[in-house]
């Protein structure tokens, strides 16, 4: 059928395969299931000392338990008969090395093999403890809300677009409703389009602040950073998100006093779970630092990382807590790589802290983060810590109505955006303008 | 026709003269109002297999489309009937595809660019050196500074370096030119949007199936995906007046489109400019296309098709711009039976990363069906340049031989705006 058409939906009272059938039909879970209580059994296996479940016990084959007992196979007959066992024949060897059919070298034979295990965080790592785990791994102290420097940019009336609300709502409608001839677009199409539209709106501010044009977006770039944290080697690797690079670095957001005050902060641990849970363990690795760009790049300083969480299927999609953890790890990775290249490999407290911002979204909910790297001395858990300001779960709008709600032949609920909140875009714009705008509370941080 | 004129009724043998109440007596005056008709109008059948019945069904269909309450409804009724149609690909390997596409879309191709209208002096002329440094930075970032895979996957070289370079170039240039062109500040930038258009041109005889022997219009559909597209809320000014007589002819090709080669399929008749009718940015400004890997210059030169290099650019320009501009016109309520009353204008830049070709399109007529085209002197016009390189080579972190004319032309394209702004 041409043009807009009603999507094919099952009838209202149709039985669903996953829902209860019979007398309890129609009674799907009314209350969302609470997460399971965290006991040693539910997190990782049985506690020490308890007997293992049957399926986890070591099972030795019958031949080992009763020596001398051999199976009678049809190997001697050289043809199959159904009443004799299947023989275990030796694996066929080609006799010569064919590069197109070779399994490759074993891990132990690779040149970069190391005995000590390294834990790698990549873009599909969903950490169990979320932000708490990322805070421990990156030796960071958490502050709720955005820093006052960024909030003061929001309050300035000159830092707003003309017809800001109307244009943002047009951008949301474009991404969520108008982008396809079908009725409802999928998250994989609307989420990146929404981010691009919001970035386009932010870029139009370049007419007011010319230093905004001295920035460049980079997509599909790979970052590499390695550090040691209480006897485990950790690495951040791989493609993460869209990076906005700037010519001038961001000035530190926290004062010297706040940085020194973090020495007293104690990092939160979560015994018995190891802080390196859910990170990929590798034995073949190379510790290197790479911002993703060569020397001499005209926009050397990372400004903001944009993460788009647009998987269509809910189990694959990152939950907000895991998305915040990923944002923190990669902001830290970019900052650490930049600091090591600027100030050398020795672990030390930085004179000029490196600031990297990060914004993550799944199309409706935005997570804002400002990360300040104060020290590269991460081996011990004492001393000056890094700082991160997180503003989590900012809704840009509540929901979108695609079809009008008609009650008794009167349009009661017109289609469109419901529950639009203008503050979220103001924060988005403030994080974009940070570094290019002189705000009133800026003090010289030496 | 009734009342039957007196004196013309032939009386067959044995027919008694009966008084026909509707006949006028010879010496009476006709009264002021004609008497109301006693019988309904005699019209052709609706369902018969005859030409007059077909005409009547067509008239009824046109009347329905004319009376549609909204534009979305009009588009739905226009493309409601699905039949086999030729799928036209703007980026095609067919030889001499640009002449065929000109005949399908009634377009005259004029080499060069349209006569430049007097651009009003904007709030500040853009600084070319700044824009040149932006362009060079984008070029060097993708070619040299950003660490990428050494060898991209097979047939993915264009999306490895030239694609991101073009995206970066367009977004930074449009942001930098926002102060000089207020239209760009209210524009909408789409990445890889869908652009579709469906139209009928010419007639043919159905050769197979249960409808064999009937005369059917030839249907076409374009499904295009430009790399970047800029849509604006106000229409661009026309290049030449609506009824301008272009020095040039629309090529007439006396073969079936199958010879191009062009293949038929039957699916949704979509008409889409990149976003739905409700979007306020419903006029087009500029499209940017990337030549795909299979149509690159080196491959065509290796296959001894050096003259087809420009043909691919032209065919892409004509087909994509026709689809986009005509879809914009349909979004304003015009269609083949209600022809456009003002010309619709769009621009396109087609590139393979190094060579750039610029195209401008003016849609003067949507009436391409046989019935609507009988007394239609208007033709659509497409202006286009040859492809020229933006730079000679990128060696390390140096750009050698940067061509300022191409950048200037690109900037002028982006600065195009209506006179009121």
**What is the average pLDDT across B102-120?**
87
Assess contact for B324 and B288: CB atoms under 8 A.
Answer: no
- Among the partner residues A3, A206, A293, nearest to B147 by beta-carbon distance: A293
Q: Do B269 and A174 touch (CB under 8 A)?
A: no
C-alpha angle A268-A272-A278 in degrees, rounded to nearest 5: 85
Residue B235 CB partners (closer than 8 Å, separation 6+): B283, B342, B344, B345, B418
Chain B, 33-72: which have a CB under 8 Å from a chain A CB? 72
How many percent of chain A have pLDDT more than 90?
Answer: 75
The pLDDT of A43-62, averaged and rounded, is: 77
Whole-number pLDDT of residue B258: 95
Measure the CA–CA gap between B171 and A203, rounded to whole angstroms. Answer: 8
Q: Which of A4, A167, A206 sits opposite B175 (nearest CB)?
A: A206
B47-59 per-residue burial string, b: 16 or more CB within 10 A, e: under 16: eeeeeeeeebeee
Residue B178: which of A2, A204, A296 has the nearest Cβ?
A204
Average pLDDT value for residue range A127-155: 94
Q: Does B394 have pLDDT greater than 50? A: yes
| Distance from chain centroid for Cα B120 | 29
- Is B79 in contact with A170 (Cβ distance < 8 A)? no
Chain B residues in contact with A416 (beta carbon < 8 A): none
- In this complex, which of B76, B141, B174 lies closest to A2 when CB atoms are compared? B76
Cα A192 to Cα A188, A196, A201, A277, B240: the distances in Å are: 7, 6, 14, 30, 39
Q: Which residue in chain B has the smallest CA separation from A5?
A: B76
Hey, are the CB atoms on A216 and B147 less than 8 Å from each other? no
The model's confidence at residue B28, banded by pLDDT at 50, 70 and 90, is low
**Tens-digit pLDDT profile for residues B47-102:** 998 899 999 999 999 999 999 999 999 999 999 999 999 999 999 999 999 999 99
Residues in chain A: 446
The helix (H) or strand (E) run that includes residue A405 is: strand A405-407
pLDDT band at B30 (very low <50, low <70, confident <90, very high): low
Neighbours of B246 (CB within 10 A): 17
- Return the pLDDT at A412: 94
pLDDT of A5 higher than 70 = no
> Taking 70 as the threshold, does the pLDDT of residue A45 lie above it?
no
> What does the pLDDT read at residue B32?
74
Contacts B149 to A, Cβ<8 Å: none
| pLDDT attached to residue A9 | 61
pLDDT of residue A62: 81
* Adjacent-strand bridge partners of B109: B382
pLDDT bracket for residue B11 (50, 70, 90): very low
Contact B146 A3 (CB under 8 A): no
Q: What is the pLDDT of residues A234-265, one digit of tens each?
A: 999 999 989 999 999 999 999 999 999 999 99
What's the mean pLDDT in A318-330? Answer: 96
Q: Is there a contact between B391 and B412 (Cβ–Cβ < 8 Å)?
A: no
Across residues A347-369, what is the average pLDDT? 95
Contacts of B79 in chain A (CB under 8 A): 2-3
Contact between residue B325 and residue B285 where contact means Cβ atoms under 8 Å apart: no
- Say how far apart CA B256 and CA A292 lie, in whole Å: 53
Mean pLDDT of A172-188: 95
Q: B80, A294: Cβ pair inside 8 Å?
A: no
Q: What share of chain B in percent tops pLDDT 70?
A: 90
Question: In the predicted model, is pLDDT for residue A145 greater than 60?
Answer: yes
Confidence (pLDDT) at A8: 58
Average pLDDT over residues A328-342: 97
Using the predicted structure, report yes or no on whether residue A18 has a pLDDT greater than 90: no
Q: What is the pLDDT of residue A7?
A: 60
**Mean pLDDT within B142-166:** 95
pLDDT-based confidence at residue B1 (cuts at 50, 70, 90):
very low
Cross-strand partners of B357: B350
Band (pLDDT 50/70/90 cuts) for residue A444 is very low
Contact A3 B147 (CB under 8 A): no
Question: Band of the pLDDT at A12, cuts 50, 70, 90?
Answer: low
Q: Which of residues 249-268 of B touch A (CB under 8 A)?
A: 268
Query: Could B146 and A221 be called an inter-chain contact, meaning their C-beta atoms sit closer than 8 Å?
Result: yes
Does residue B405 surpass a pLDDT of 50? yes
In angstroms, the separation between the Cα of residue B77 and the nearest Cα of chain A is 8
- For all residues of chain A together, what is the average pLDDT? 90
At residue A162 the predicted structure's pLDDT band, cuts being 50, 70 and 90, is confident
CA distance A217 to chain B (A): 7
Q: Which of A29-38, A157-166, B272-281, B294-303 has the lowest mean pLDDT?
A: A29-38
A93: pLDDT strictly greater than 80: yes
Of B79, B172, B185, the CB nearest to A3: B79
Is the pLDDT assigned to residue A3 strictly greater than 60?
no
CA-angle at A78, arms to A77 and A82, nearest 5°: 70
Give the per-residue pLDDT at B416: 93
Taking contacts as CB-CB distances below 8 angstroms, the residues of chain B near A204 are 175, 178, 184-185
Position B15 confidence tier, pLDDT thresholds 50, 70, 90: very low
Q: Which residues of A fall below an 8 Å CB-CB distance to B?
A: 1-4, 167, 170, 173-174, 177-181, 192-193, 196-197, 200, 203-204, 206-207, 212-213, 216-222, 290, 292-294, 296-299
- The ipTM, to two decimals, is 0.89
Return the pLDDT at A37: 77
Query: Is 80 exceeded by the pLDDT of residue B20?
Result: no
B18 pLDDT exceeds 50? no
Q: Is the pLDDT of residue A296 over 50?
A: yes
Report yes or no: B191 at the A interface, CB cutoff 8 Å. Answer: yes
Cβ distance A4 to B72 less than 8 Å, yes or no, reads yes
């Amino acid at each position: 059928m041409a043009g807009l058409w009603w999507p094919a939906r099952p009838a209202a009272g149709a039985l669903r395969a996953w829902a209860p059938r019979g007398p309890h039909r129609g009674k799907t879970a009314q209350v969302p299931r609470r997460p399971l209580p965290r006991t040693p059994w539910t997190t990782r296996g049985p506690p020490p000392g308890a007997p293992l479940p049957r399926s986890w016990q070591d099972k030795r084959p019958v031949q080992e338990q009763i020596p001398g007992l051999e199976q009678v196979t049809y190997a001697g007959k050289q043809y199959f008969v159904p009443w004799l066992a299947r023989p275990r024949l030796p694996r066929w060897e080609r006799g010569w090395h064919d590069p197109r059919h070779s399994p490759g070298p074993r891990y132990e034979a690779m040149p970069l093999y190391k005995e000590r295990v390294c834990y790698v965080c990549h873009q599909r790592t969903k950490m169990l403890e979320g932000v708490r785990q990322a805070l421990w791994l990156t030796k960071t102290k958490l502050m709720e809300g955005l820093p006052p420097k960024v909030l003061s940019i929001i309050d300035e009336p000159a830092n707003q677009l003309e017809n800001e609300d109307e244009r943002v709502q047009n951008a949301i409608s474009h991404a969520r409703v108008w982008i396809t001839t079908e009725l409802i677009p999928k998250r994989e199409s609307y989420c990146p389009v929404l981010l691009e539209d919001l970035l386009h709106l932010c870029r139009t501010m370049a007419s007011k602040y010319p230093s905004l044009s001295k920035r460049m977006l980079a997509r599909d770039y790979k970052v590499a950073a390695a550090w040691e944290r209480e006897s485990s080697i950790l690495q951040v690797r791989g493609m993460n998100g869209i990076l906005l690079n700037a010519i001038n670095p961001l000035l530190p957001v926290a004062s010297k006093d706040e940085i020194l005050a973090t020495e007293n902060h104690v990092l939160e641990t979560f015994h018995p779970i190891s802080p390196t849970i859910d990170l990929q363990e590798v034995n073949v690795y190379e510790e290197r630092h790479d911002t993703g760009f060569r020397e001499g790049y005209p926009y050397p300083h990372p400004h903001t990382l944009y993460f788009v969480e647009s998987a269509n299927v809910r189990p694959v999609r990152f939950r907000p807590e895991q998305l915040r953890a990923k944002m923190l790890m990669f902001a830290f990775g970019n900052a650490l790589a930049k600091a090591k290249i600027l100030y050398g490999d020795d672990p030390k407290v930085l004179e000029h802290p490196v600031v990297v911002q990060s914004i993550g979204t799944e199309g409706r909910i935005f997570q804002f983060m400002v990360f300040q790297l104060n020290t590269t001395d991460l081996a011990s858990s004492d001393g000056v810590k890094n700082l991160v300001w997180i503003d989590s779960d900012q809704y840009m709008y509540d929901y979108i109505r695609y079809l009008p709600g008609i009650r008794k032949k009167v349009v009661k609920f017109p289609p469109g955006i419901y529950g639009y909140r203008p503050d979220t875009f103001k924060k988005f714009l403030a994080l974009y303008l940070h570094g290019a705008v002189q705000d009133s509370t800026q003090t010289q941080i030496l | 026709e009734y009342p039957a004129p007196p004196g013309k009724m032939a009386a067959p043998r044995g027919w008694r003269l009966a008084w026909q109440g509707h006949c006028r007596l010879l010496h009476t005056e006709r009264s002021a109002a004609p008497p109301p008709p006693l019988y309904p109008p005699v019209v052709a059948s609706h369902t018969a297999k005859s030409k007059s019945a077909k005409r009547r069904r067509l008239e009824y269909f046109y009347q329905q489309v004319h009376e549609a309450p909204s534009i979305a409804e009009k588009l739905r009724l226009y493309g409601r009937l699905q039949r086999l149609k030729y799928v036209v690909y703007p980026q095609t390997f067919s030889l001499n595809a640009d002449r065929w596409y000109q005949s399908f879309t009634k377009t005259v191709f004029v080499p060069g660019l349209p006569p430049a209208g007097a651009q009003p002096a904007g709030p500040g002329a853009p600084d070319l050196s700044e824009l040149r440094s932006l362009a060079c930075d984008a070029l060097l970032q993708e070619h040299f500074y950003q660490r990428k895979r050494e060898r991209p996957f097979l047939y993915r070289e264009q999306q490895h370096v030239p694609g991101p370079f073009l995206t970066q170039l367009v977004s930074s240039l449009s942001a930098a030119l926002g102060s000089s062109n207020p239209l760009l500040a209210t524009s909408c930038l789409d990445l890889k949007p869908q652009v579709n258009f469906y139209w009928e041109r010419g007639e043919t005889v159905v050769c197979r199936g249960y409808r064999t022997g009937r005369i059917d219009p030839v249907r076409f559909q374009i499904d295009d995906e430009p790399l970047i597209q800029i849509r604006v809320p106000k229409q661009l000014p026309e290049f030449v007046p609506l009824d301008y007589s272009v020095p040039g002819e629309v090529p007439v090709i006396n073969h079936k489109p199958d010879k191009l080669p062009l293949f038929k399929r039957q699916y949704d008749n979509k008409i889409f400019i990149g976003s739905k009718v409700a979007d306020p940015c419903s006029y087009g400004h500029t499209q940017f296309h990337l030549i795909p890997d299979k149509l690159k210059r080196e491959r065509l030169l290796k296959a001894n098709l050096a003259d087809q290099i420009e043909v691919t650019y032209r065919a892409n320009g004509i087909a994509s711009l026709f689809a986009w501009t005509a879809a914009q016109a349909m979004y304003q309520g015009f269609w083949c039976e209600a022809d456009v009353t003002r010309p619709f204008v769009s621009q396109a830049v087609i590139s393979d990363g190094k060579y750039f070709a610029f195209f401008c399109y003016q849609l003067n007529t949507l009436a391409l069906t046989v019935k609507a085209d009988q007394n239609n002197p208007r033709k659509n016009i497409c202006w286009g340049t040859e492809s020229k390189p933006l730079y000679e080579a990128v060696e390390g972190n140096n750009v050698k031989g940067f061509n300022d004319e191409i950048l200037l032309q690109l900037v002028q394209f982006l600065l195009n705006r209506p006179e009121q702004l």
